[in-house]
Amino acid sequence: MSWTVSEIRSLRVGGYIVVDEEPCKILSISTSKPGKHGEAKARLDVMGIFDQRKRSIVHPVTHGAKVPMIDKRKGQVISIQGGHAQIMDLETYQTFEMLIDDEWKDQLKAGQDCMYMSAMGKMKLTQLSGGD
């Protein structure tokens, strides 16, 4: 299982939530007062981590929401082939292929250290550092 369940009221801006089976970062949260026969509602504006799509959801504050387990790790670029990079995790020495986003295509070089995040079976390059 790559997510846990948490109440909407315990989520904070900058945190993460799963919307439409996509891990998303919370951009804003606004809550309304409870009505005469209802309970307080929260409106969350979120952005997908991997697809960069903005979404809005409205749920009661006591609603259980999926919170993805985000794993931020350090790796090293071994090789670049077309739009893919082969990366080795510097902690486990596991190698894997990752699709390179447009923002990193010109800057990425073999031998360079990088930071990447992994959530719900997807991976994304987040930062570059060092090099040869």
CATH at 82: 2.40.50.140
Calculate the dihedral angle through the C-alpha atoms of 2, 18, 20, 35, rounding to the nearest 10 degrees.
140
E-assigned strand segments in the chain: 3-7, 16-19, 22-31, 41-48, 54-60, 64-68, 71-81, 84-89, 95-99, 113-119, 122-129
36 and 82 co-located in one domain: no
C-beta of residue 60 within 8 angstroms of C-beta of residue 39? yes
75 and 29 co-located in one domain: no
Q: State the pLDDT at residue 129.
A: 84
Q: State the pLDDT at residue 131.
A: 54
28 and 59 co-located in one domain: yes
CATH at 9: 2.30.30.30
Domain count, the chain: 2
Residue 129 CA from chain centroid, whole number? 20
Structural domain boundaries enclosing 105: 71-129
Q: State the pLDDT at residue 102.
A: 87
**DSSP secondary structure of 49-74:** TTT--EEEEEEETT-EEEEE--EEEE
Q: State the pLDDT at residue 55.
A: 97
64 and 93 co-located in one domain: no
If the chain, 132 residues long, is cut into consecutive pieces of 10 residues, what is the mean pLDDT of each piece? Answer: 90 96 96 88 96 95 95 95 93 93 88 94 88 52
Amino acid at 63: H
Structure tokens at 102: 């447009």
SS3 10: helix
63 and 85 co-located in one domain: no
